[in-house]
Amino acid sequence: MTLTTHDNPLDTPVQFVRGVGPQRAELLAKLDIRTVRDLLWRLPRDILDLTDLKQPDDLVEKVEQTVRGEVVDVDARQTSGGKTITAALLDCGKGEYVRGVWFSQPWMRKRLLTGTSVLFTGKPKRHQGRWEFNHPRVQWLEQDDGDSPAEKGAGLLPRYGLTEGIRMHEMRRMTRHAAEDFAENIPDAIPASYREAHQLPKLSEAIKQLHVPRTMEAYESARHRVLFDDLFEFQLALALRRRAWKHDDEASVMIATAKIDARIRRLFPFRFTEGQDAAIRDIVRDLQSGEAMHRLLQADVGAGKTVVAVYAMLVAVACGYQAVLMAPTELLALQHFDTIDTILKRSRVKRSLLTGSLSPAQRRNTLEAIRTGDAELVIGTQAVIQKDVEFAKLGVAVIDEQHKFGVMQRAHISSGDHNPHVLVMTATPIPRSLCLTQFGDLDLSLMTDQPPGRQRVVTCRITGDAPRQKAWDFVKKQLAEGRQAYIVCPLVKGETASDDGPRGADVIHERVAKALPDFEVGLVHGQMDRKERAVVMDRFRDGELHVLVSTTVIEVGVDVPNATLMIVLDAERFGLSQLHQLRGRIARGSYQGYCFLFSESSAPDAAQRLHALESTADGFRIAEVDFEIRGPGDVLGTRQHGDMPLPVASLTRDINILDEARREAFSLVDSGDFDTPEFAALKRQVLERFGRLMDLPQSG
């Protein structure tokens, strides 16, 4: 067989790349690398720059420099103030040594095993006759990085994710050969004129420079190109969807007259915050524009989004339309219904609840009322409402997203016969960068303030027996004073084999009930029957239960102002944003909230992550930290859809590329240039990738 049996050289099985062969091809298959294309797109994770290494003798003060060496000694000790100092001694050869020092990062000790080869980068200073790096950036090396014959003298070494049986230098050799022999066949969907105008290298050249970088600048420019492409295509898809919406986007004009405004405000026992007023102004403007609203209302937990949503819905009702509020869970739908019911106590607005637990007869009646327009304000779970519900005259749809849904579900509600105004509420602090992507086609209203009197929840990470006991004692004392507590577990069921493994809520419930004989202890989790769950929640809300052992089902929206205590077990198993949401549950009343994060994990980043929660109440910052550590799919909870379209980008690092891609994509679509034949290939690619996912019109 020869290479030319394949029409497209990129389809050539990877075994025919120089230096691969059938055995390595089998190993590569474990990495899902089967063709030359797969191998070329196996982009390096990062790059090692060995071009400018210093020997300790050549170091100077106050300039950033890099040294290479082998870790020969590590120790960690406590200062009298209780901080840890970790120090590592690096053997740089020729009898020269440097030291790296870290404060309050005890986990560094486990990461710097003796015998490992590393680079330290930082500004060194002389200390006790030796060069010392304070908190240097560390890069871990393979023992033989740069030593194999082909790599000798090559200063820039890409680094790949590997599989067992393939060494780093072998991977480098294979990708180098693939790049040299095949990269030029990679087609470029971005037209040459556009590339030149935007100083983008050719894609084939970029792929080559990623695997075989000529200079650091060439590598960076290649990386920029690949990231740009990825983000650009996604933003083009968003721009196309937005255009499709705008195109057919007439919506009813609803005017919130002064009288309507006053009537709505009177329903609330408090003044709106500035943030609420500003968001309401945005919405009022949208509702009277004649174009359908597509707005994202983003604010931290407890900021009072529901108030804003209710306002928008009541404007619709006042103008003779129906409004709907969709919640992500049954529990939340119930809670919203209760809240709204209370607000509307003295009003004639007809509201109905539509959830999965209605009896068939109830359901029939409700659907009928919605069809005839008799039901003015409908609250339910999104799944239920999207199925077979026909509105007589839907004016405003609110989606309480709580970041549980992806992009896709959203499209449907606005594609019915009517063009309702759509408001998406997201309770979670999504960093600006994510906001631009996941919700990139929505207008944004951001509320950064909180209703007055909110207290910051005191948050402590608790490790070890004695502190744990102290935390329990504290909780007991508070319970005795009349407060209530949540105990949150990562699992529903079970005792794990290992003693320190996570335990299920059922086991914890039994133990806590035994340990707190003077208090009523309830259990709630997602595998319980809905009605059962609602009964338990009601009892907790009414104060009959003092302690509620639960899973994360309480994460969203549950509102019990007297519950001010929370213990999270195995806290490191939760996402940071999730924990932040959870503790939002205990920031609601007039008593100080206390959140104890129990964690015995010795994983290096566990302490670091939980520390973010101790040190800040800023949900945006927390989401950023979470995002850096876990990647976007996990943070958004979209991983299960497999739809996070950003495989290579680290958004916190590459925020400016994202901004650029977004600007360029929207301007390309708005100018009409994207519809010219020059961009046909790129458009085809965008539709292939995102068309179905985002419900884009196939003609673009």
List residues near Mg ion by CB under 5 A: 557
Q: Where are the beta strands (DSSP E) in 189-260?
A: none
Q: Of the two residues 299 and 378, which places its CB atom closer to ligand ADP in the complex?
A: 299
Query: Is 152 exposed, middle or buried, given 0-12, 13-18 or 19+ CB atoms closer than 10 A?
Result: exposed
d(CA 469, CA 453): 31
| Interface residues toward ligand ADP, by CB under 6 A | 270, 272-273, 276, 299, 301-307, 427, 451, 559
For the bound state, the minimum distance from the C-beta of residue 335 to ligand ADP, rounded and expressed in Å, comes to: 9
Amino acid 496 reads T
Binds 605: which of ligand ADP, Mg ion, none (CB < 5-8 Å by kind): none
Question: Residue 504 or residue 557: which is nearer to Mg ion going by CB?
Answer: 557
For residue 313, the cross-strand partners are: none
Q: Binds 304, which of Mg ion, ligand ADP, none (CB < 5 to 8 A, cut-off by type)?
A: ligand ADP
CB 325, min distance to Mg ion, A: 11
Cβ at position 429, least distance to Mg ion in Å? 13
CB of 307 to ligand ADP, least distance (A): 5
Give 169 or 351: the residue with its C-beta nearer to Mg ion. Answer: 351
Q: Which option in Mg ion, ligand ADP, none does residue 559 bind, with CB closer than 5 to 8 A by kind? A: ligand ADP
Other CB atoms closer than 10 Å to residue 434's CB: what's the count?
23
Closer residue to ligand ADP, CB minimum distance, 92 or 333: 333
Q: Which is nearer to ligand ADP, 451 or 633 (CB)?
A: 451
Q: Please report, as a single letter, which amino acid is at residue 542.
A: D
Other beta carbons within 10 angstroms of residue 72's beta carbon come to 12
Which residue number, 557 or 632, has a Cβ lying nearer to Mg ion?
A: 557
Pair 351, 324: CB distance under 8 Å: no
Outline where 460-554 has alpha helix (H).
465-480, 505-515, 530-541
Question: What is the nearest approach in angstroms of ligand ADP to the Cβ of residue 575?
Answer: 18
Closest CA to 121 of 202, 79, 73, 59: 59
Structure tokens at 181: 């022999």
Q: Which residue has the tokens 């600006």?
A: 432
The partner in contact with residue 631, picked from Mg ion, ligand ADP, none with C-beta cut-offs of 5 to 8 angstroms by kind, is none
Residue 495 contacts which entry, Mg ion, ligand ADP, none (Cβ below 5-8 A, type-dependent):
none
Q: From the CA atom positions of the chain, what is the Rg in Å?
A: 29
Q: Which does 377 bind (CB under 5 to 8 A by kind): ligand ADP, Mg ion, none?
A: none
Judged by beta carbon distances under 5 to 8 A according to partner kind, the member of ligand ADP, Mg ion, none in contact with residue 223 is none
Cα three-residue angle 646-397-638, rounded to 5 degrees: 20
Residue 598 phi, psi (nearest 5): -80, 125
Q: Please name the amino acid found at residue 515.
A: A
**Could you say which of ligand ADP, Mg ion, none residue 103 binds, taking C-beta under 5 to 8 angstroms by partner kind?**
none
Measured from the CB atom, the residue of 179 and 297 that comes closer to ligand ADP is 297
Q: In the bound complex, what is the minimum distance in angstroms from residue 563's beta carbon to ligand ADP?
A: 13
Long-range Cβ pairs for the range 464-470 (8 Å, 24+): 464/600, 468/598
C-alpha distances out from residue 472 to 32, 443, 469, 481, Å: 49, 46, 5, 14
Whose CB is nearest to Mg ion?
557
Minimum distance from residue 593 beta carbon to ligand ADP (Å): 13
What phi, psi does 537 have (nearest 5°)?
Answer: -60, -40
Beta carbon nearer to Mg ion, 522 or 557 = 557
Closer by beta carbon to Mg ion, 136 or else 557: 557
Closest CB 298 distance from Mg ion, rounded Å: 12
Structure tokens at 576: 């940071």
Give me the sheet containing 443-447, strands edge to edge: 351-354, 377-381, 322-327, 394-400, 421-426, 294-299, 443-447
CB of 276 to ligand ADP, least distance (A): 6
Nearer CB in complex with ligand ADP: 556/686: 556
Identify whether the C-beta of residue 566 lies closer than 8 Å to the C-beta of residue 462. Answer: no
Q: In this structure, what token pair is assigned to residue 218?
A: 């060439």
CB of 501 to ligand ADP, least distance (A): 33
41 binds, among Mg ion, ligand ADP, none (CB under 5 to 8 A by kind): none
Residues forming a β-bridge with 433: none
State the Cα–Cα distance between residues 549 and 566, nearest whole angstrom: 10
Q: What DSSP assignment string belongs to 367-386? A: HHHHHHT---EEEEEHHHHH
Q: For ligand ADP, which is the closer residue by CB, 299 or 571?
A: 299
Hey, what are 95's tokens?
A: 């009898």
Find which of ligand ADP, Mg ion, none residue 201 binds, CB within 5 to 8 Å per kind.
none
213, interface contact from ligand ADP, Mg ion, none, CB < 5-8 Å by kind = none
Sequence length of the chain is 700
> Smallest distance from the beta carbon of 303 to ligand ADP, in angstroms?
4
